[in-house]
Amino acid sequence: MIFQYQNTAREGDLVELTAMRRGFYIIRLQEDGELQTHRGVIKHADLIGKEWGSEVFSHLEKPFYLYPVTLSSMLLNTKRNTQILYPKDIGYILITLGIGPGCRVIEAGTGSGGLTQALAFYVGDSGHVYSYENRQEMQNLARKNIALLQLQERVDFKLHDIINGFDETDVDALFLDVPNPHDYVKQVKSALRPGGSFGSILPTVNQVSLLLNALRRNGFSFIDVCEILLRFYKPEEDRLRPTDRMVAHTGYLIFARSIQKAPKEKAEGDSQDDEA
Amino acid sequence: MIFQYQNTAREGDLVELTAMRRGFYIIRLQEDGELQTHRGVIKHADLIGKEWGSEVFSHLEKPFYLYPVTLSSMLLNTKRNTQILYPKDIGYILITLGIGPGCRVIEAGTGSGGLTQALAFYVGDSGHVYSYENRQEMQNLARKNIALLQLQERVDFKLHDIINGFDETDVDALFLDVPNPHDYVKQVKSALRPGGSFGSILPTVNQVSLLLNALRRNGFSFIDVCEILLRFYKPEEDRLRPTDRMVAHTGYLIFARSIQKAPKEKAEGDSQDDEA
Amino acid sequence: MIFQYQNTAREGDLVELTAMRRGFYIIRLQEDGELQTHRGVIKHADLIGKEWGSEVFSHLEKPFYLYPVTLSSMLLNTKRNTQILYPKDIGYILITLGIGPGCRVIEAGTGSGGLTQALAFYVGDSGHVYSYENRQEMQNLARKNIALLQLQERVDFKLHDIINGFDETDVDALFLDVPNPHDYVKQVKSALRPGGSFGSILPTVNQVSLLLNALRRNGFSFIDVCEILLRFYKPEEDRLRPTDRMVAHTGYLIFARSIQKAPKEKAEGDSQDDEA
Amino acid sequence: MIFQYQNTAREGDLVELTAMRRGFYIIRLQEDGELQTHRGVIKHADLIGKEWGSEVFSHLEKPFYLYPVTLSSMLLNTKRNTQILYPKDIGYILITLGIGPGCRVIEAGTGSGGLTQALAFYVGDSGHVYSYENRQEMQNLARKNIALLQLQERVDFKLHDIINGFDETDVDALFLDVPNPHDYVKQVKSALRPGGSFGSILPTVNQVSLLLNALRRNGFSFIDVCEILLRFYKPEEDRLRPTDRMVAHTGYLIFARSIQKAPKEKAEGDSQDDEA
């Protein structure tokens, strides 16, 4: 749970109203509020005081279910002008970069702030997120999305071109969601703590090749390139089968770790047999 | 980062020594310690004081790299007698169940404690994990693994058969990693807070069918069944291609949310058109 | 090529007119024919005499390309009331069942005749296809589709319920595309030659389980269950990447071979260690 | 069936002896022959006269099953020094290129002749295969493999460097299984009939990019790039699940069709909106 909720919905709660087939609405409860949907109108007053998970009805007698907002819903709902980062990718990024409570993390670009929300949630009160973007309107949008979660104190939004480098040093992890990460690998190296973790996501193989080249030339190793396919099933016990269609591609994930090579004369002979 | 590390390795640090091709060792640094590997011996004293990411050499002049331990390495390294939960699945489970700092979470069974480690890391200081198991020797193993991460204060290990129910109520999320989760759905419902999230992982489609049936009959909805495929690439910019082989199956993931149906007379007519 | 074509299009040829983005039309050329499309009208007379692969233009100056009809196009174009068998599955079925020139093959049900077309094409002049169906209107549709390819002499269409068995014996291969193949395994066994090959396609795991059980109890072995995923890429050399979405499921393919078990007393001890 | 077999095995038949778990042997039956396996010895004389699909026993009482040889077994068994083309890819190549009875087809390079066997089988008596290779020892191996199937009359083996072009013109389809197909696209265009079909398979994305570029610059269109993933299941009705591991990559398949662009002045304006 992102917020501290009671067992029943209260005024001011950010809630999720879910219809049966995956459509949902995120609203903040207000005594006199109303939600208009194509399945009818629901008054906030009818929700306040209800237990979470309750079935409620619109004025057209269509059922909805009332839940505390979840991070997944926030990610899928976030208003955006940009490509989305999917939960399947975000979960794996967090685990692989080791991002959790207490971490200091940089991301660029901010975009609409989907990953920013996830990072801010997972670094907890003791961690911090530095989020770079060079388009004012995207940053404004991301600020609004973070404010919805009341996590603005965990994030510094910066309006920089990262070609000039990052303000921070010794961060635990750094993630680039920009079209040309290969242009910023030196800057990444300077911002990471020794041994720190780097990640990126890229749509095309051509971009991946460019980044691999830049990583090798700038003191990174333990490079992984992977992609994650998520396949849903129709959840019917007597007719269990995958859905007809699925997302085939969101992006290639690239991970690497900063290394400190020992002086050449010692390493040389050995690294060859290692590379073989 | 799981622990607070300095910029250089110190005695007492839990570290990761990584050879080029994915093999790695996890050790706790001791002034007079020695690591024996098939690529030669490394003295801990040669590591203490080194920067993270440093290249170091065994007595056979083979290179290794020195890193703070990561959650991923811990998960992959955990000594186990049981099926492993993979990082690809754990990341998605965390995001989907909304498990993060401050959450109260139940898992069963504990097994060798792989998921327990991830949960304990992500719930942070303000959250808590309740981990059930009915085999003493597995619980002992899991306790040891959690102690390695110094996260034992975030976990209550319990030696119960969960057929008798869980001690806790109103937990935010509950995950079952047992062969017969369909036998415990009522108990799950009682332990979850209203609207709480449930997850499970199962190897066969037959088990999935049984669980789907039990979930529907016990007040759960918003059921998702999915599987995650992770495909790695050979990270060479001039010859970029997927690896020859991959893991084809770890398990089907099942997620559901507890619901509170409104009294029948009202819902009936409508739910039919919704199910259509 | 299905038919004998000359190097230029002639009256009477079955041709394919293809717009750039995968849409295409299959027509038989007639001196005074016209093709109406949403991108303009094309007169058959403007096509007759053109080289294959030629670019031609509608009266709205929109380009089309002229090709001999291909089996793939026929399969994708076939008018149908039923689930389609995809080229990715058909190709693998042919290879796995060993169906080629000279083979005698049974299929049931005929459906709209997609697989029938492929079978009739691949068994050549010296092979034969027996196609069973119990719905008259489906058989009529399939007959029309086969006639388009002028392959009607290679196919016997039968209007039977296969619960009463097949008329043929000693066929090389038999494919069932029906919802309940587990009800017909004895009949299949009787129709196949000794050692003959059986295949089926099924949408749900529950159906697969039923079929596996029936195959084991009726003298089949070497059972394979598999699924084929086909992922397309956007064919742009500078921005090469998979398409955004893909077909996630057409069906599970099941293959088996008829076996003749030796008398029990001899086999028993051994088969156990083999099954282990 | 590749050959005409009787209902029982006869001397001279090419047969397949299959143990339970996918291992198999391909032998030609000879009155006094013996097959040595790690599961015991089998005398050919004990096989001659047996029905296909029969269970037979080695001198160690281990069971085997007797089958006519199949194309799939031949493909998987072919002695080779080179990368194999898998049945999953071959089936889709045949269907997509429309290769069947009566077709004239070129392939290069021959390699160990796996695809050659499939092509020779599917073009039937009325079709023909032209197979180019520039390594004598590979051609010798392929000749032997084709002779095993007694299909040598359907294949012309050629020892050429295809940089000098192909001897044939107006072939229906042409497949390149070489590392640098982009170097031969002009030659391919000259050998294909107007509107003919081209295919290739390549392991790396970098090679695919080069080929896409060459195809566009040399009069090809309707380009498809795809990959086929084949996932097997453990065929147990009560514990149905995918196998633990699978082949992650064999190669990217590229298909294209030869086109004849109309003179520029007419096409120009329109093709832009088409490409958009």
- pLDDT tens column, B229-250: 999 999 999 999 999 999 999 9
Q: Name chain A contacts of B87, Cβ cutoff 8 Å.
A: 92, 95-96
Q: Name chain C contacts of A246, Cβ cutoff 8 Å.
A: 245-246, 248
Average pLDDT (D98-114) is 95
Beta bridge partners of D105: D129, D173
Q: What's the pLDDT band for B3 if we cut at 50, 70, 90?
A: low
Q: Which residue of B has its CA nearest to A233?
A: B225
Residue C246 to chain A, least CA–CA distance (Å): 5
Q: Name chain B contacts of C206, Cβ cutoff 8 Å.
A: 209
pLDDT at D58 over 80: yes
| pLDDT computed for residue A62 by the predictor | 92
| pLDDT computed for residue B140 by the predictor | 96
| pLDDT computed for residue B269 by the predictor | 41
What gap in Å lies between CA A131 and CA A142, rounded to an integer? 10
pLDDT at B276 over 50: no
Average pLDDT (C250-258) is 97
CATH topology of domain B14-69: Vcp-like ATPase; Chain A, domain 2 (3.10.330)
- Is A73-264 a domain of CATH 3.40.50.150? yes
Q: Which residue of C has its CA nearest to A239?
A: C204
Residue D204 to chain A, least CA–CA distance (Å): 10
Look at C40-44, C49-53, C257-261, D2-6 and tell me which has the smallest mean pLDDT.
D2-6
| pLDDT computed for residue B81 by the predictor | 52
pLDDT digit string, tens, across residues C112-134: 999 999 999 999 999 999 999 99
Is the Cβ of D235 closer than 8 Å to some Cβ of chain B? no
Residue ranges, comma separated, of all CATH 3.40.50.150 domains in chain A are 73-264
pLDDT digit string, tens, across residues A20-50: 766 889 999 999 999 999 899 999 999 999 9
Q: Do B231 and A230 touch (CB under 8 A)?
A: no
Tell me which of B86, B202, B204 to substitute to probe the interface with D (most D C-beta atoms closer than 10 Å): B204
Q: Do B246 and D246 touch (CB under 8 A)?
A: yes
Residue ranges, comma separated, of all CATH 3.40.50.150 domains in chain B are 77-264
| pLDDT computed for residue C5 by the predictor | 84
Of C266 and B25, the one with more pLDDT: B25
Q: Do A90 and B95 touch (CB under 8 A)?
A: yes
How far apart, in Å, are the Cα atoms of B113 and each of A97, B77, B105, B151, B170? 21, 11, 14, 12, 23
What gap in Å lies between CA D32 and CA D252, rounded to an integer? 46
CATH topology of domain B77-264: Rossmann fold (3.40.50)
pLDDT at D269 over 90: no
| Angle, vertex CA A20, rays to CA A17 and CA A23, nearest 5 | 60
pLDDT digit string, tens, across residues A139-155: 999 999 999 999 999 99
| pLDDT computed for residue C2 by the predictor | 62
* A248 → closest Cβ in C204, C240, C242: C242
What gap in Å lies between CA D145 and CA B187, rounded to an integer? 63
Q: How many CB pairs under 8 A join A and D?
A: 5
pLDDT digit string, tens, across residues C43-73: 999 999 999 999 999 999 999 999 999 888 8
Beta bridge partners of D247: B245
Q: Which residue of A has its CA nearest to C247?
A: A245
Helices (H), B192-263: 205-217
| DSSP symbol at B75 | H
Q: Name chain B contacts of A223, Cβ cutoff 8 Å.
A: 235
pLDDT digit string, tens, across residues B179-192: 999 999 999 999 99
Task: Confirm whether pTM is higher than 0.90.
Answer: yes
Look at B128-132, D54-58, D84-88 and tell me which has the smallest mean pLDDT.
D84-88
Is the Cβ of B264 closer than 8 Å to some Cβ of chain D? no
| pLDDT computed for residue B274 by the predictor | 38
Chain C contact partners (≥3 CB pairs within 8 A): A, B, D
Tell me which of C249, C250, C253 to substitute to probe the interface with A (most A C-beta atoms closer than 10 Å): C249
Is the Cβ of D209 closer than 8 Å to some Cβ of chain A? yes
Tell me which of C10, C92, C274 to substitute to probe the interface with D (most D C-beta atoms closer than 10 Å): C92
Q: Omega before C109 cis (within 30°)?
A: yes
Q: Which residue of D has its CA nearest to C69?
A: D98
pLDDT at B267 over 50: no
Nearest to C206 by CA among A209, A237, B242: A237
Q: Name chain D contacts of A227, Cβ cutoff 8 Å.
A: none
| pLDDT computed for residue B77 by the predictor | 76
Tell me which of C237, C249, C268 to substitute to probe the interface with D (most D C-beta atoms closer than 10 Å): C237
pLDDT digit string, tens, across residues A72-94: 888 887 655 556 789 999 999 99
Give the H or E element holding residue B225: strand B220-234
**Is the interface score ipTM higher than 0.90?**
yes
Residue C180 to chain B, least CA–CA distance (Å): 18
Is the Cβ of C170 closer than 8 Å to some Cβ of chain D? yes
Mean pLDDT estimate for chain B: 91
pLDDT at C276 over 80: no
Average pLDDT (A207-231) is 97
Is the Cβ of A235 closer than 8 Å to some Cβ of chain C? no
Q: What's the pLDDT band for A70 if we cut at 50, 70, 90?
A: confident
Q: Name chain D contacts of A206, Cβ cutoff 8 Å.
A: 209
Q: Do A213 and B275 touch (CB under 8 A)?
A: no
Q: Do C54 and D194 touch (CB under 8 A)?
A: yes
Q: Name chain D contacts of A205, Cβ cutoff 8 Å.
A: 205, 209
Mean pLDDT estimate for chain C: 91
Average pLDDT (D51-69) is 94
| Angle, vertex CA B195, rays to CA B193 and CA B200, nearest 5 | 85
Instruction: Determine the 3-state secondary structure of C12 from DSSP.
Output: coil
Residue D64 to chain C, least CA–CA distance (Å): 10
**CB count, 10 Å around CB of A271?**
16
Tell me which of C202, C204, C205, C246 to substitute to probe the interface with B (most B C-beta atoms closer than 10 Å): C205
Is the Cβ of A21 closer than 8 Å to some Cβ of chain B? yes
Instruction: Determine the 3-state secondary structure of A269 from DSSP.
Output: helix
pLDDT at C274 over 50: no
Q: How many CB pairs under 8 A join C and D?
A: 278
Which CATH architecture describes the domain C77-262?
Answer: 3-Layer(aba) Sandwich (3.40)
Chain D contact partners (≥3 CB pairs within 8 A): A, B, C
- Per the listing, tokens 């006639």 go with C147
DSSP assignment of chain D: --S---SB--TT-EEEEE-TTS-EEEEE--TT-EEEETTEEEEGGGTTTPBTTBEEE-TT--EEEEEE--HHHHHHH---SSPPPPHHHHHHHHHHHT--TT-EEEEE--TTSHHHHHHHHHHTTT-EEEEEES-HHHHHHHHHHHHHTT-GGGEEEEE--GGG--S--SEEEEEE-SS-GGGGHHHHHHHEEEEEEEEEEESSHHHHHHHHHHHHTTTEEEEEEEEEEEEEEE--TTS-EE-SEEE--S-EEEEEEE-BPPPHHHHHHHHHHHH-
Q: Do A205 and C247 touch (CB under 8 A)?
A: no
Q: Which amino acid is at A203?
A: P
pLDDT at A266 over 60: no
Instruction: Determine the 3-state secondary structure of A148 from DSSP.
Output: helix
Q: Name chain D contacts of B208, Cβ cutoff 8 Å.
A: none
pLDDT at A105 over 90: yes
Residue ranges, comma separated, of all CATH 3.10.330.20 domains in chain A are 14-69
What gap in Å lies between CA A173 and CA A193, rounded to an integer? 8
What CATH number is given for D74-262 in this structure? 3.40.50.150
* D204 → closest Cβ in B240, B247, B248: B240
pLDDT at C251 over 80: yes
Give the H or E element holding residue C52: none
Is the Cβ of D240 closer than 8 Å to some Cβ of chain C? yes
Q: Name chain A contacts of D206, Cβ cutoff 8 Å.
A: 209
Q: What's the pLDDT band for D220 if we cut at 50, 70, 90?
A: very high
Q: Name chain B contacts of D232, Cβ cutoff 8 Å.
A: 248
| Angle, vertex CA D202, rays to CA D200 and CA D206, nearest 5 | 125
Q: Name chain D contacts of B247, Cβ cutoff 8 Å.
A: 244-246
Is the Cβ of B241 closer than 8 Å to some Cβ of chain D? yes
Tell me which of A180, A232, A241, A244 to substitute to probe the interface with C (most C C-beta atoms closer than 10 Å): A241
pLDDT digit string, tens, across residues C144-177: 999 999 999 999 999 989 999 999 999 999 999 9
Average pLDDT (A231-236) is 98
pLDDT at A136 over 70: yes
